[in-house]
Homo-oligomer: A and B are copies of this chain.
């Protein structure tokens, strides 16, 4: 929790017009404090927050992730079905889903080329294209 990471977290919240409460700043710091992208679940974030003195309840972690997600700060990714994953990187990009332990990593966007995409059905528009590459340890 350096001054720098706190600033990053606070600015990130400000950018979305979210009130910088103590717990939001703490979570924001864990998410973007080091400027790196991160893949998390409600449980994993709760665990990280609990390791520090910042007390944040699990319900608040859920509510906050939802708020961040609605504000466009993070993006929810569907891969597992049993839990929700969130990504601090919000542009459209593919993911690797490690089937063995259920974790998620970014896949290089430049290496994915979709040369043809099915047309959206009449009366609809594409809002997002999810590409999940499931990998398994050999």
Contact = CB atoms under 8 A, between A and B. Distances in A.
Contacts of A107: 118
A79 B131 CA distance: 11
B111 A123 contact: no
Nearest to A106: B118
Contacts of A79: 78
Interface in A89-138: 94, 96, 98-99, 105, 107-108, 111-121, 123-138
27 contacts: A78-B78, A78-B79, A78-B80, A78-B81, A81-B83, A96-B121, A107-B118, A111-B116, A111-B118, A111-B119, A112-B114, A112-B116, A113-B114, A115-B115, A117-B133, A123-B137, A124-B136, A124-B137, A124-B138, A125-B136, A126-B134, A127-B135, A127-B136, A129-B132, A130-B131, A130-B133, A131-B131
